[in-house]
Amino acid sequence: ISGCVLRPWGFYQALATALEWGVLDRLLFASDYPASTPAETRAKLRAVNEAWPGGGAPIIPDRAILAIEERDSLALLGLA
């Protein structure tokens, strides 16, 4: 998700598309440091559903957000 969090609406759209296509489990957490610190990226990831005020858009499930944060990237890439 590196770099995506800097544009909240685009970030939401990217995650919503990944959800629709069933590929959220392929996303890796990255911060794009120094443009965004890991803590800033984590906070923006957790707030991704707030990019669409007023509702009506698909919600990115909390479990999917947590999975992106906690995913073992090395294992996913076959490097573990």
Could you tell me the sign of the dihedral formed by the alpha carbons of 71, 29, 52, 56, in that order?
A: negative
Q: Per residue of the chain (80 residues), give pLDDT as tens.
A: 888 888 888 999 999 999 999 999 889 898 888 888 999 999 999 999 987 766 678 899 999 999 999 998 888 888 87
From CA 51, how far away is CA 49, in angstroms rounded?
5
Helix, strand, coil percent content, the chain, rounded in steps of 5: 60, 0, 40
Q: pTM for this one?
A: 0.84
What pLDDT does residue 77 have?
83
